[in-house]
Structure 1
Amino acid sequence: MGNFLVALSQNIILVTVVTAWITAQILKFFTTYLKNKEINIERLIGAGGMPSSHTALVVSLASAIGFHDGVESSLFTVAVVLAGIVMYDAAGVRHAAGKQAKVINQLVRDLKVEHKIRDTRLKELLGHTPLEVLGGALLGFGIAYGFHLFYW
């Protein structure tokens, strides 16, 4: 087991991706604090917020593969397609689902006043704005580039 963990820690692409994800989650915690002036520990692991950690992860993956294997490699192509799907989902589908959850939550609050209705609050912060996705993409690329400069 020890050799396996050592081998994982020496996989520079994996280390790059994990670093990008952790950095994005930590930044998300601080940007939420600066915006709302309150500590929200859930931002360290939750979806939504600035920057998009999913985007940082997949862009750092695609970039690291591009730096390591070359942009003409098949693996780079797969990673770029994956990154595009994740970014589209983050800014499109999940963002729209979050907006719908907000409307449904308001309807439940309004109905609760007049009727006996069980309050099941839906999570509203699911997706990202295009700016949050862009922030994640820049962060992911920057971290991959930094690893490329210092470790390859």
Structure 2
Amino acid sequence: AERLVGSGGMPSSHSATVCALTTAAGLEYGISSFEFAVSFVLSAVVMYDAMGVRRETGKQAKLLNMLMEQDFFKFDNEAFQQRLKEFVGHTPLQVLAGAILGIVLAFYVNGYYR
């Protein structure tokens, strides 16, 4: 159940959301508009973060979980007994799939309401 509603996974809902926003802004205001430019920059930052910083955080959590399972690093403290979340970021394929989904949905909704 955690994988269905938690962070990380296929496709990236963050990428889908910001790409849908950017596409909708482009369709509504034009690609030379301020709204499109701001949405585009936001999309780039969100997708870069999903693939970069958040993915690296997941890799570090996986390594820390492996270390905490070793006999040498056994901790009695309750805070150390909980596993860290390992799936917090996205692969480039997950981000791309989310981006495509967002763009397609924005075109669909735009056509539906016109």
Normalised by the length of structure 2, the TM-score is 0.91
In the other structure, the counterpart of 1:144 is 106
Q: Deviations over 1:28-47 (max 9, x none)?
A: xxxxxxxxxxxxx2233211
Contact 1:101 1:123 in 2 (8 A): yes
Letter in 2 for 1:63: T
Match for 2:38 among 63, 67, 78? 78
How far does residue 120 in structure 1 lie from its aligned partner after superposition?
Answer: 3.0
Letter in 1 for 2:59: K
How far does residue 121 in structure 1 lie from its aligned partner after superposition?
Answer: 1.1
Taking the TM superposition and a 5 Å limit, the aligned residue runs for 1:2-151 are 41-110=1-70, 113-114=71-72, 116-117=74-75, 118-151=80-113
Percent sequence identity is: 50
How far does residue 72 in structure 1 lie from its aligned partner after superposition?
Answer: 1.1
The CA distance in 2 between the partners of 1:56 and 1:116, in whole Å, is: 41
Gapped runs of 5+ residues in structure 1?
1-40
The CA distance in 2 between the partners of 1:94 and 1:100, in whole Å, is: 10
Runs of 4+ aligned structure 1 residues displaced above 3 Å come to none
The CA distance in 1 between the partners of 2:72 and 2:45, in whole Å, is: 43
Contact 1:91 1:128 in 2 (8 A): yes
Contact 1:109 1:119 in 2 (8 A): no
The CA distance in 1 between the partners of 2:107 and 2:73, in whole Å, is: 56
Contact 2:7 2:87 in 1 (8 A): yes
**Highest relative contact order (Cα 8 Å, sep 6+), 1 or 2?**
2
Letter in 1 for 2:51: A
Gapped runs of 5+ residues in structure 2?
none
Contact 2:67 2:73 in 1 (8 A): no
